[in-house]
Amino acid sequence: MEKKLYPFKFIPVASRRPWGGSALVRDLGKKFVEADDEGNETVLGPDVLIGESWELADMGIEDSVVAEGWLAGNTIGELMETYLERIVGENVYNHYGRQFPLLIKFLDINDRLSVQVHPDDEVAAERYDSLGKAEIWYVMDAKEGARMYCGFTREVSAQEFYDRCKSGTVDEILNVIYPKKGDVIYITPGTVHAADGGLLIAEIQESSDMTFRLYDWGREFDPATARKMHLEEAIDVIDYNAFDFGLYRKGPLWGEEASHMPCHAHSCSCTDGCHCHEEGQECHCDEEGHECHCHDEGHECHCHEDDHCHHGAEEGGVVETLVESPQFNVTALHLSDPLHIYTEKFESFIVYICLEGAASIQVPSTKPNGEAYMENYEFAKGETILVPAELPDFYLVPRDRSTLLLEAVTRPADEVDDYIDLSTDAFLENEDYEGLEDGAFDEEPSAPKGSSPLNFFS
């Protein structure tokens, strides 16, 4: 009998960074262990500068290891090799192959994070045979005076940016955000960004470590602190426009200024009779979720007739969509009562990150004697859990009245080139196609099951 998969927790891995601090150990209770070449293990104390905790990573150079259950000790890469679409879902597997598509981290930015940028999927595939890197930052805590640098205050030229990186004046053109706890920023590929001053961040990103350092606040000029820089390599992947504030979502601590719509890149995706004609207009769904309307300051349209994934989620802030993007969808769940989650409706795996409180995932199961019971998988603040797509449904139960979770899924979509007119007849008049008109093109050849359309990790 085939064994059933279950929700996975992984052993976190510490990543030392010069800009890190002690918050991951002190505030999130992380216990990091490092082993030397002889296998001797050392527990890292709060005096070690740790910038990142890798929670779920399928990177080859760093693969997360299952912490509990009958698959404990296996890496996420080994799970993908063995269980394939049972882990991620058929659509995700057909798009990404055996590469798990997301990388989950916690960041402790105690000092200045280098000014950096990430490439998009197209550039990363062509040059490095890799995925690009879109990411979101959820601010779990922000000290007074903490800063996030995102994009530019105005449109700049590549030459000006290059010169300012070399002269140490690039901060004069960077857009500065003073974040508060609960803020969210969607960092699109091409957006120059950095941070400083005491930030604890939950990061969800594509499964890629493609980071180009552009400026390191002078550390690159000191042999004792210098790290490899990539300014020339990255100069043509940078978005030199002024920062798009639609990518920044202010949290509840902003009061009346708080945002209530998902982070979005400027575009309009209406399909049912809504058309934005005037420059600067966007579209979003009305209160009932059935119609689209254009507004001067709107957001992308993602209409649904009902909330079929979160049964029992009432309106009023229990479920908040934070980011909707081609790479991932991220939702905040404010749990006060149990939710019945139908995994099959997502057509994806689900990752939960606990930001506050604690929760348990309860999976309906049956004992050998036929008796029904619930398998219970608990996770608390600072922990991440992966629910495989194979599970048809489960209950998400709060164990603390202030429980807050991030929920991340991947829903790959087929892209159609803009220059292709799908309404055009495939055949010219008065030409002999030797019977090809009779349905030979009705079915397009597809990639082998489990391979990526972009040849990633196939």
Q: Strands 102-109 and 199-206: what pairing?
A: antiparallel
Give yes or no for a contact between 78 and 228, defined as CB atoms under 8 angstroms apart. Answer: no
Catalytic pick from 17, 112, 164, 213?
213
On the 0-12 / 13-18 / 19+ scale of CB atoms within 10 A, 49 is middle
Strand ranges inside 245-297, DSSP E = 248-249, 282-285, 292-295
14-41: b (≥16 Cβ within 10 Å) or e: bbebebbbbbbbebbebebeeeeeeeee
Q: Of 172, 165, 187, 169, which Cα lies nearest the Cα of 231?
A: 165
Give yes or no for a contact between 152 and 192, defined as CB atoms under 8 angstroms apart. Answer: yes
Task: Determine the straight-line distance between the first and last CA of the chain, rounded to whole angstroms.
Answer: 29
Q: Is 25 helix (H, G, I), strand (E, B) or coil?
A: helix
Interatomic CA distance for residues 31 and 67, integer angstroms: 13
Handedness of CA 217, 222, 226, 232 (dihedral sign): positive
User: Can 26 be counted among the known catalytic residues?
Assistant: no
Q: Of 11, 5, 9, 208, which Cα lies nearest the Cα of 89?
A: 5
Q: Of 205, 200, 196, which Cα lies nearest the Cα of 183?
A: 200
Q: 285 Cβ partners below 8 Å, 6+ apart?
A: 291, 292, 301, 302, 303, 304
Q: Hey, what are 235's tokens?
A: 């100069």
Name the residues annotated as catalytic: 213
